[in-house]
Amino acid sequence: MGSVKDLEIIKKPTKTQMGIGRFHFSDRYSVFDWGEMPDHIEGKGAALCLMGAYCFEKLEEKGIKTHYRGLVTSNGRIVRFDELTSPTNIMEFNLVNVLKPKAYIKNGILKYDYSMFTHKTTNFLIPLEIIYRNGLPEGSSVFKRLEKGILKLENLGINHFPKPGEKLPKPFFDVSTKFEQKDRYISWDEAKKLVKLSDNEIENIKDLLFKINEIITEIASRARLENEDGKVEFAFDPQRMLMVADVVGTLDECRFTFEGLHVSKEIARDFYRKTEWYLEVERAKREAEKRGIKDWRTICKVSPPKLDFTLKEIIRQMYLAVANEFTGRRLFDSPRLFEVIKQYKEYVNKQKT
CA dist., res. 289 & res. 301, Å (int): 16
CA distance 263 to 340: 10
Q: What is the pLDDT of residue 225?
A: 96
What are the backbone angles phi and psi of residue 190, rounded to the nearest 5°? -65, -40
Q: What is the CATH number of the domain that holds 251?
A: 3.30.470.20
56/28 Cα distance (integer angstroms): 22
Q: For the chain, what percent of residues have pLDDT higher than 70?
A: 99
Q: What is the pLDDT of residues 225-247, one digit of tens each?
A: 999 999 999 999 999 999 999 99
pLDDT band at 1 (very low <50, low <70, confident <90, very high): low
* pLDDT of res. 2: 67
Quick one: which of 225, 221, 194 has its CA closest to 111? 194
Average pLDDT over the chain reads: 94
CA distances from 176 to 44, 89, 133, 162, 179 (A): 26, 28, 13, 22, 10
Question: pLDDT value at position 138?
Answer: 85
End-to-end CA distance of the chain: 41
Residue 82 has pLDDT above 90, yes or no: yes
Mean pLDDT of 18-43: 94
Distance of CA 275 to the CA centre of its chain: 23
Distances (CA, A) of 335 to 33, 118, 132, 180, 310: 31, 50, 30, 40, 15
Give the pLDDT mean for 1-5.
Answer: 74
Q: Positive or negative CA dihedral for 127, 130, 136, 142?
A: positive
Please give the pLDDT value at position 352.
82
**Distance separating alpha carbons of residues 13 and 94, to the nearest angstrom:** 9
Segments forming the whole domain that contains residue 335: 5-352
Contact (CB, 8 A) for 2 and 22? no
Which pLDDT score, from 0 to 100, does residue 233 have?
Answer: 98
* Predicted local confidence at residue 300, as pLDDT: 95
Q: Count CB-CB contacts under 10 A for residue 274.
A: 10
- Structural domain count, the chain: 1
pLDDT band at 87 (very low <50, low <70, confident <90, very high): very high
Q: pTM of the predicted model, to two decimals?
A: 0.91
Mean pLDDT of the region 331-336 = 96
pLDDT for the residue numbered 139:
82
Q: Is the pLDDT of residue 284 over 60?
A: yes
Using DSSP, state whether 9 is helix, strand or coil: strand
Closest listed residue to residue 323, CA positions, set 84, 64, 134, 131:
84
Radius of gyration of the chain (CA): 20
**Among residues 114, 93, 129, which one has the least CA distance to residue 9?**
93
Count of CB atoms within 10 A of residue 16's CB? 9
Give the span between the Cα atoms of 324 and 161, in whole angstroms: 37
Q: Which distant-in-sequence residues (6+ apart) come within 8 Å of 172 by Cβ?
A: 132, 133, 155, 156, 157
Q: Is the dihedral of CA 80, 236, 114, 255 positive or negative?
A: negative
